[in-house]
Chains A and B, each alone.
Chain A
Amino acid sequence: MSLFDLRLTDLHNKLAHRELSVTDLVEHSLKRIQATDGQIGAFLTLDEEGAREEAAKLDRQLASGGERGLLFGLPSGLKDNMVTKGLRTTCGSKFLENYVPVHDATVVNKLRSAQSVTMGKLNMDEFAMGGSNENSAYHPVRNPWDPTRVPGGSSGGSAAAVAAGQLYFALGSDTGGSIRQPAAYCGVVGLKPTYGLVSRFGLVAFASSLDQIGPITKNVEDAAYVLQAIAGHDELDSTSANVEIPDYTAALTGNVRGLRIGVPKEYLGQGVDPQVKERVLESLRVFESLGAVWEEVSLPHTEYAVSAYYLLASSEASSNLARFDGVRYGVRAEDPANLMDLYRRSRSEGFGPEVKRRIMLGTYSLSSGYYDAYYKKAQQVRTLIKRDFDQVLEKYDLIIGPTAPTPAFQLGEQVDDPLTMYLNDILTIPVSLAGVPAVSIPCGFADGLPVGLQIIGKPFDETTVLRAAHAFESNTDHHTRRPALS
């Protein structure tokens, strides 16, 4: 058994009993990154020196005794849209190729307090816009299960790094499925918490009413540990929720007897791969055998979610990305004729095609004469979608379905067809619009590719989501399978 197959608590114990040093763990990770990342491409910036220094410091602390943080000594990675003081943060964009932040995101501070070792910054679709990681301005990420396929996106680097055994956990961000979909494609666990549970301070904004940071891990228990370390109110984020943070790992009792599960008929309908559907039905039988009950339900506005989402998220993005003007940071066009020329050329040279497309779509939706027809209409439809969830979650504890309609697709397959690409998110987007928590966990394979099961809960009820996910995982072995990477 490799170190990488151990749970975070096992590693924690080994460190405590000095069977292992933090340096051992960090070197093990570095070795794995060197061996596999040429093939996978998960990293944009590897902080080898910083990681080694931090490991040595933690080992000295270990020798002198004293309190250890919740994630003591565990090597982790950050999606490259979370700012790190002194460490380049690109957002997967050429615009920020040389941007070195002067402050840390709140989640970065929290991981530091928990004493995790940050190994570096992970690849992503530019400004988190995409579902395949092919929109990275640097290089694509490849799926560890099949390097001819995409890892999903936009947190593709985070999911692939964990699946490839490079890191013990990673943080991703999810706007319309960007944690859950890559977790599903890469066969790992990805949790999108309730909107507002984790601070967005220092997360480069894409769509502010939807963005949420969450953990990507190998198993559900690890996800609960990482969530424990990063959740909580932050006065630096005015949309951060002021709620009490429960003990997430204590909730993993294994008991799901009597739990009521709603299975939306829209999530197993047209467009869902038959093998994906079969894996989900098998998973429901596991829940049944554990004493949970499930019934078919309806989320009738599901088919409108993708349209509403692309209008809303692009509108928010067009406003958020106005800050990239070539004045305070990022690229600046050479020899601008005047200020307007500086703005226009800096932005045109710095942004890639998908980012420009979404800025165009958002600007159009917000422009005079179209606001009511597109932006406001989409906000009203968002209300209807949220009501669908409210109504089902009044009667049921959880909603379960697939995370994505198909397993990972081939690189290049959809890159020229934005609309088809957007439809990969059809089962994750409604959840984002409703703001409720959801986790994707491995539930089997389709032709050798991982399939993700999506477990959706009530607002701020991550404990029930995690409890059910953990109970499922404890009775199956899908999460223990590893890709056959050389």
Chain B
Amino acid sequence: MSITVKDVEHVAALARLDLSEQEKEAFTGQLNAILGYADKLNELDTSGIEPTSHVLPLFNVMREDEVRPSLPIEEVLANAPEEEDGQFKVPAVLD
């Protein structure tokens, strides 16, 4: 199965990326090469094999739901490209 420029455009939209025509071309070729190589995994029969998402035998880490100190608002906003009234500012979401 090979990836088309159209697939690349679809995935770019999902990933919130704007790609130039040149990037679309390049990624189409490169993703085909990488995924072609990844098809090697299909040589292995993995039926009944548990997937590993994590190597440690970890479980949910719980703690009491108590109030703890957090960063002051000025620090939280210190790196914001735009802010107003103690909030992050973005373009209007609704017209």
Contacts and interface: CB of A to CB of B under 8 A. Distances in A.
Interface of A: 98-100, 102-103, 195-196, 209, 235, 238-239, 241, 301, 303-304, 306-308, 310-311, 318, 322, 325-332, 336-345, 347-348, 351, 353, 356-357, 359-361, 363-364, 367, 374, 376-384, 386, 418-419, 422, 434-435, 459
Given A360-B27, A383-B51, A435-B56, A102 B71 contact: yes
B87 to A, nearest CB: 11
A239 B54 contact: yes
B2 interface: no
Helix, strand, loop or mixed for chain A's interface? Answer: helix
A383 B56 contact: no
B67 interface: no
Given A100-B79, A102-B75, A383-B49, A344 B88 contact: no
7 contacts: A238-B61, A310-B38, A328-B79, A344-B17, A347-B18, A359-B15, A380-B46
Interface of B: 3, 7-8, 11-12, 14-19, 23, 26-27, 30-31, 33-35, 37-38, 40-44, 46, 49-56, 58, 61, 63, 71, 75-76, 78-82, 88, 90-93
A384 B23 contact: no
A307 B46 CA distance: 15
Contacts of A435: 55-56
A382 B49 CA distance: 10
Nearest to A331: B81
Contact of B80 (A318, A329, A348): A329
A363 B61 contact: no
A217 B44 CA distance: 39
Contacts of B42: 377
A360 B15 contact: yes
A102 B78 contact: yes
7 nearest A-B pairs in the assembled complex, by CB-CB distance: A435-B55, A379-B51, A332-B81, A329-B79, A380-B46, A102-B75, A363-B15
Contacts of A418: 30, 33-34
Given A330-B81, A361-B31, A380-B50, 11 more contacts: A311-B38, A327-B81, A338-B91, A347-B18, A353-B26, A360-B8, A379-B51, A381-B46, A384-B49, A435-B56, A459-B55
Contacts of A356: 17, 19, 23, 27
Contacts of A100: 78-79
Contacts of B18: 344-345, 347-348
B18 to A, nearest CB: 4
B44 A381 contact: yes
Contact of A384 (B11, B40, B46, B63): B46
Contacts of A383: 49-52
B91 A337 contact: yes
B56 A241 contact: yes
A419 B29 CA distance: 11
A347 B46 contact: no
A339 B52 contact: no
A209 B78 contact: no
B55 A318 contact: no
A345 to B, nearest CB: 6
Nearest to A325: B16
A351 to B, nearest CB: 8
Contacts of A344: 16-18
A186 to B, nearest CB: 28
A342 B91 contact: yes
A378 B61 CA distance: 26
Given A239-B54, A239-B58, A419-B37, A348 B79 contact: no
B77 to A, nearest CB: 8
Nearest to A306: B37
Contacts of A330: 79, 81
B41 A382 contact: no
Nearest to A96: B79
Contacts of B58: 196, 238-239
A304 B61 CA distance: 33
B37 A307 contact: yes
A349 B92 CA distance: 21
Contacts of B88: 327-328
A318 B81 contact: no
A306 B41 CA distance: 10
B17 A347 contact: yes
Nearest to B51: A379
B92 to A, nearest CB: 7
Given A328-B79, A338-B91, A307 B14 contact: no
A99 B71 CA distance: 17
Contacts of B79: 98-100, 102, 328-330
